[in-house]
């Protein structure tokens, strides 16, 4: 990172005013004039287009710089103090970076949900579909999400990821990009935001618990809470998805594919998206069950060893009285104390 960050800063500084507008600011702004019925002031809404790729690319570079700053000024200092092994070192860095991102995204996403009244009105997940025009905060949130997960690909090189872990990381990153981009392109931004905030909160709890575990291996309460919330999050994700695609969008009047208006509410798309979400939840549950089984095996294998060690230690210890009288309470025959030797002396 030390050599990459200055190059990125120099590259960003070469942007001219016209180029900076395309890369830095959000594109495809639509201004809705004020009316007595809807609003007392003009509203700026956004839709997506090909120019969003330039904005995603710019903020991907910004994400690489922020990643390097967190790594160098926070995580590396903690690593030097804690003296972690190589395995713990890489996992600590991963959890440190992801916990910061999940916390930021979860707080920001929750503020959007509250300000747009998505929590108080669940029907807003499918009402007025397609959600072609979205507010600034919503679009910027999705742009940064895509930029962050795209930046994770070059980070595999910068972090010197092991060859055996690269495929797992690519699948992990690809799943995020597939679902976030799918929600953005298919105009399902309302449902996608709710599911992302729900998922990010559970993931943040896992990674922050792992950070505490690395500092003190006796800390297990966070993992127990995460296990319960993980299962509840999977169930809630399935419930919201079935309600949206099987109940809300299935009863909509306009169910014709129309690329100009951005309407993808047809049976094939609904089944495909719902199947994708269900498969992702099943995959995460499978990984979760394997993780819990591995933890249970490690705990059960370490428990007999500790019991055996205690038993051997207790067996090896002898009291002072036993050492004086002999082993296990038996009296030793010393020459001066034996009856036969006293009889020989008298004779």
What 3-state DSSP class applies to 45?
strand
The structural domains of the chain, with segments of one domain joined by +, span 3-297
DSSP state of 263: B
β-bridge mates for residue 31, sequence order: 44
Question: How many Å apart are CA 198 and CA 233, to the nearest integer?
Answer: 7
Whose CA is closest to 109, among 173, 194, 170?
A: 194
Report how far apart the first and last C-alpha atoms of the chain are (Å, whole number).
95
Q: Angle at Cα 21 formed by Cα 20 and Cα 22, nearest 5°?
A: 90
Tokens of 24: 């830095």
The answer to whether 240 touches 191, Cβ cutoff 8 Å, is yes
Binning the chain into helix, strand and coil, the percentages to the nearest 5 are 75, 5, 25
Whole-model pTM? 0.82
pLDDT higher than threshold 50 for residue 347: no
pLDDT higher than threshold 80 for residue 118: yes
CA 331 to chain centre: 66
Mean pLDDT calculated for residue range 177-194: 96
Mean pLDDT calculated for residue range 335-340: 43
The answer to whether 55 touches 143, Cβ cutoff 8 Å, is yes
Q: What would the pLDDT profile of 287-335 be if each residue is shown by its tens digit?
A: 999 988 887 887 777 665 555 455 445 445 444 444 444 434 443 444 4
For the chain, give the percent of residues with pLDDT over 70: 79
Whose CA is closest to 152, among 111, 200, 101?
A: 101
């Amino acid at each position: 990172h030390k050599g990459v960050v200055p190059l990125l800063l120099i590259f960003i500084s070469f942007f001219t005013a016209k180029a900076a507008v395309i890369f830095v600011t959000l594109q495809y702004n639509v201004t809705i004039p004020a009316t007595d019925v809807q609003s007392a002031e003009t509203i700026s809404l956004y839709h997506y287009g090909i120019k969003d790729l330039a904005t995603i690319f710019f903020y991907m570079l910004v994400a690489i710089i922020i990643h390097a700053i967190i790594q160098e000024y926070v995580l590396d200092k903690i690593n030097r103090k804690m003296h972690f092994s190589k395995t713990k070192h890489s996992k600590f860095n991963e959890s440190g970076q992801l916990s910061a991102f999940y916390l930021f995204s979860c707080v920001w996403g929750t503020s959007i949900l509250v300000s747009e009244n998505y929590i108080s009105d669940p029907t807003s997940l499918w009402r007025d579909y397609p959600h072609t025009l979205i507010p600034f905060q919503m679009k910027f949130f999705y742009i940064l999400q895509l930029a962050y997960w795209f930046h994770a690909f070059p980070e595999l090189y910068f972090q010197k990821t092991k060859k055996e872990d690269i495929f797992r990381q690519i699948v992990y990153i690809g799943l995020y990009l597939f679902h976030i981009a799918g929600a953005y392109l298919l105009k399902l931004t309302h449902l996608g935001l709710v599911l992302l905030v729900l998922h990010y909160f559970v993931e943040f709890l896992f990674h922050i618990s792992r950070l505490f575990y690395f500092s003190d291996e006796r800390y297990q309460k966070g993992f127990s809470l995460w296990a319960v919330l993980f299962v509840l999050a999977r169930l809630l994700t399935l419930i919201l998805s079935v309600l949206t695609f099987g109940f809300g969008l299935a009863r909509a009047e306009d169910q014709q594919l129309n690329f100009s208006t951005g309407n993808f509410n047809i049976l094939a798309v609904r089944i495909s998206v719902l199947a994708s979400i269900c498969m992702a939840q099943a995959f995460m549950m499978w990984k979760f069950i394997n993780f819990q089984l591995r933890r249970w095996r490690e705990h059960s294998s370490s428990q007999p060893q500790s019991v055996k060690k205690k038993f051997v230690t207790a067996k090896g210890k002898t009291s002072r009285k036993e050492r004086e009288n002999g082993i296990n309470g038996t009296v030793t025959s010393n020459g001066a104390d034996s009856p036969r030797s006293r009889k020989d002396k008298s004779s």
